[in-house]
Structure 1
Amino acid sequence: MQSLGEVSENNGQELSENGSLWDQMTEIVKFSGPAVGLWICGPLMSLIDTAVVGQGSSIELAALGPGTVLCDYTSYLFMFLSIATSNLVATSLARQDKNEVQHQISILLFVGLACGILMLIFTKCYGRWALTAFTGAKNADIITAANKYVQIRALVWPAWLVGWVAQSASLGMKDSWGPVKALAVASAINGIGDIVLCRFLGFGIAGAAWATMVSQVVAAFMMIVALNEKGYNGFAISIPSRNEFVQIFTLAAPAFVAIMSKIAFYALLVFFATSMGTKTVAAHQVRELLKSLVIIGTLSGLILGSIGTAIPLLFPKIFSSDPEVIREMHKVLIPFFVALCAAPPINCLEGTLMAGRELKFLSISMSGIACLGTLLLLVLSRSGYGLTGCWLGLVAFQLSLFTVLLRRLTLPDGILYSEDLIRYQLGNTKTV
């Protein structure tokens, strides 16, 4: 999956420096429109699981909380693979060196495969322990059901991360439709599989896990095939040299810290809830581009927030027929709406800073805000605010992050006003 920062970095050179705001927005939408599906697909699969499983068992519905956190949120730890792949592939393409592109893809496929195998081993050996530490030993029924879900989905880790590298390579080549097609097929397989295995055959949470696992294998295979159709071998794997590994690490480490901070905070939200039962662009052009991104992000957030809030408000029984669950959902609709509205503009600001290689600032700021957010969560939890407190904590985290990132971009020495843009050159991986 790919952030808007990578979109702006890979495609910023194609935006005319004298182009209108509307032209810029059109260019962004042409590329990032399909790419939005890449972000939607993962949560959509978990949403499908939730909707289907929730009709059968409240315990299994509750188990999907820690289960999907361990599967989906931990996958975001490997976002560095996406960032490194798209950056290295785009840099090699800018040099018009196809052999170098293939080599970069091959070594990153190895890294993805190695990470996938390690995650498979970790989940098999320590999955239940992680769920217990996350959920609490007193929730034995939830842990058992969640572990069943996690152990099945763990089988896809090697294939999924290899497919992720293939997907990011396609995005680095400015192809967002290929990966979207693969994930659309995967979502359809997941939805049909959930209905058949859970509703008709009665496999419950295990059926949801099998459906998601198979759909992810299919998506990974289709992403590799799409890469092969571009003239590259998506099955060629090479072990990176020490220098190559350092290059990948230099690119990925700051982003990893930033992502880790966000994941840790989001995971804490679920924990507390569960415990309750590109080439340089001129400075002026960058400012116009950011304006386009923020407008699109704000509109997207409003649409997303409206839809996301309307569904649990008007059709709560899609997810669960339990009256207590429905009441708890309705209590948090307002902070839920604010959080959904804030997420896309924040991603736009994050992406702009990533395109400017402000990765060190991102890692430090996100880590700090995550720590403060954790303290707020502790206070709200101990004060008896319950699930509402968790969502209020998320809103505070989102608004704080938006304020800090926007402030950084609008500083006189920030990338929006800097005339010395040498440090923002494409391929300058030594900045951080």
Structure 2
Amino acid sequence: MLLLTKIFGPWALTAFAGPKNLDILPAANTYVQIRALAWPTILVGWVAQSASLGMKDSWGPLKALAVASAVNGIGDIVLCIFLGYGIAGAAWATMVSQVVAAYMMIETLNKKGYNGFTFSVPSWNEVLTILGLAAPLFVMMISRVAFWALVTYFATSLGTNVVAAHQVMIQSYGMCSVWGQPLSQTAQSFMPELIYGINRNLSKARILLSSLVIIGATLGLVLGIVGTSVPWFFPNIFTPDQTVIQEMHKVLIPYFIALSVSPGTHSLDGALLAGRDLKFISLSTFGCFSLGAVLLIVKIYSLVH
């Protein structure tokens, strides 16, 4: 990712932004190039975080993310407001916070008796095992990332006002949707031992799944109401531009639906991953991506013509 961003970043941004948004390319490229420096560290940090969560330790990752958030917030204030570095300052603050988070994630594992800074070459059997797990998950994740990228790509093709409204709504959605992630992590941490472990107990696994789905449905309704109310009643928090606000209001109904189903979907995702039903989850996600892409193309074609 680091090398691809360095080599093809400007080209990708140019293709992504479109001819209507060429004025944002210098700032966008500055931001992307700085953020790319953290990619190797980010991946290592994700692995360390997953290892801790797999051991049912959520406090270590929580502390790391709390410190990283503080570093990011303080860095934004100092670099952007006081020193005037603008978008470059925001990128440096985020990049440094991600490096700090990865280091703290590794240190959390080290305190458990592991050595997170060692290197080892996996055996061929280990590689095959990892590929068997990672390949379906890769299809799932790449389908989701590709869909969000496609949505952003089409938003940029519709002009600056649309892409501005899109950025507000997608960032707000991201802030709300993370509330469902703990449900997925809980399912992945506790359900495998109930499904495959020595103390196998499928009835407890079903009870846990039911609880997570009920919590997800309730949380989704609350997030849908609160998350939709903010851009509806208080859009000036994000922008004073009435044209952008009008574009935001056009998508409030699907925005509410997406927020409402997100936590429940996370709990089901976690259960499928815990049960290693990887083929189904990868194929269903790819199917959703394909259907969503077709709908996007049809919608854009109708708007253009």
Q: Normalised by the shorter chain, which TM-score bucket?
A: 0.7 to 0.9
**What corresponds to 1:157 in structure 2?**
39
Q: Does the residue aligned with 2:284 lie in a helix, a strand or coil?
A: helix
1:108-187 to 2 correspondences below 5 Å = 119-187=1-69
**What corresponds to 2:165 in structure 1?**
none
Aligned positions, number: 268
> Is 2:20–2:157's contact at 8 Å kept on the other side of the alignment?
no
Correspondence 1:208 to 2:90: yes
Correspondence 1:273 to 2:155: yes
- CA–CA distance in structure 2, aligned partners of residues 164 and 374 of structure 1: 28
- CA–CA distance in structure 1, aligned partners of residues 224 and 17 of structure 2: 28
Q: Does the residue aligned with 1:320 lie in a helix, a strand or coil?
A: coil
**What corresponds to 1:258 in structure 2?**
140
Correspondence 1:191 to 2:191: no
What is the TM-score of this pair, normalised by structure 1?
0.59
Q: Of 353, 362, 377, which residue of structure 1 is paired with 2:296?
A: 377
Over 3 Å counting, the alpha-carbon distance change for 1:315 and 1:193 in structure 2 is farther
What is the TM-score of this pair, normalised by structure 2?
0.82
- Single out whichever of 302-311 and 221-230 deviates more from structure 2: 302-311
1:12-411 to 2 correspondences below 5 Å = 119-277=1-159, 278-279=192-193, 280=195, 281-384=200-303
Over 3 Å counting, the alpha-carbon distance change for 1:321 and 1:203 in structure 2 is farther
Read off the aligned partner of 2:51 and give its amino acid letter: A
- CA–CA distance in structure 2, aligned partners of residues 342 and 302 of structure 1: 8
Read off the aligned partner of 2:209 and give its amino acid letter: L
Read off the aligned partner of 1:267 and give its amino acid letter: A
How far is the alpha carbon of 1:146 from its aligned partner? 1.2
Over 3 Å counting, the alpha-carbon distance change for 1:377 and 1:362 in structure 2 is same
- CA–CA distance in structure 2, aligned partners of residues 181 and 235 of structure 1: 20
RMSD, aligned α-carbons: 1.9
- CA–CA distance in structure 1, aligned partners of residues 237 and 47 of structure 2: 34
Q: Does the residue aligned with 1:265 lie in a helix, a strand or coil?
A: helix
Structure 1 alignment gaps of length 5 or more: 1-118, 386-432
Bigger RCO (CA 8 Å, 6+ sep): 1
Identity between Structure 1 and Structure 2 (%): 64
- CA–CA distance in structure 2, aligned partners of residues 250 and 169 of structure 1: 18
Structure 2 alignment gaps of length 5 or more: 160-191
How far is the alpha carbon of 1:206 from its aligned partner? 1.2
How far is the alpha carbon of 1:244 from its aligned partner? 1.7
Q: Does the residue aligned with 1:342 lie in a helix, a strand or coil?
A: helix
